[in-house]
Amino acid sequence: MKCPFCGSVDSKVLDTRTMDEGNAIRRRRQCEKCGEKFTTFERVDIVPIVVIKSDNTRETFDRNKILGGIQRSCNKRPVSMEQMENMVREIENTVYNTLGKEVFSRDIGELVMNKLKEVDEVAYVRFASVYKQFKDIDSFMAELAGLLKNKES
């Protein structure tokens, strides 16, 4: 690490601490040449994920959009903010670790629906009604029938 005072690249680490729930490291260093102390931070450099929407436009992955959709679906339901955050974290981990650099929005929507189905069926139906854009009552009822059939088995 280059010293910000004299430019020397020789320094020793005096102290190391984790930060941000283990996602970053803070290091206290001392320059071997001038003796000055300075702090450095290390973080994993995450390559941004691009979401391909249904109209083929592309935008950067935004976990806040997922959280917002989940919050709207869970409005006035017995789902805690912690549960919602956990769902978003699990979805985000799946997106970053298994789906590649470009992800289709429909794949993210399926992940959200699967998590909501596990946590709250009403929230699931709310999200599915917007996500799947039911054209009529029959398609909505078919989704409900599938949910009831899975529940009975």
Whether the per-residue pLDDT at 117 is higher than 80: the answer is yes
Compute the distance between CA of residue 151 and CA of residue 134 in angstroms, rounded to an integer: 21
Q: What is the mean pLDDT of residues 135-151?
A: 71
CB within 8 Å of 148: residues ≥ 6 apart: none
- The pLDDT score that the predictor gives to residue 43 is 79
Q: What is the mean pLDDT of residues 61-90?
A: 93
- Would the pTM count as exceeding 0.95? no
- Reading phi first (left if > 0) and then psi (alpha if -120 to 50, else beta), residue 136 is in beta
Q: What is the mean pLDDT of residues 109-137?
A: 83
- The pLDDT score that the predictor gives to residue 15 is 95
- The pLDDT score that the predictor gives to residue 134 is 66
| Phi, psi at 101, each rounded to 5° | -80, -25
**Domains of the chain, residue spans:** 11-43, 50-152
Whether the per-residue pLDDT at 152 is higher than 70: the answer is no
pLDDT class of 128 with cuts at 50, 70, 90: confident
Compute the distance between CA of residue 147 and CA of residue 144 in angstroms, rounded to an integer: 5
Per-residue pLDDT of 7-19, as tens digits, reads 999 999 999 998 8
Of 27-31, 63-67, 105-109, 139-143, which range is least confident? 139-143
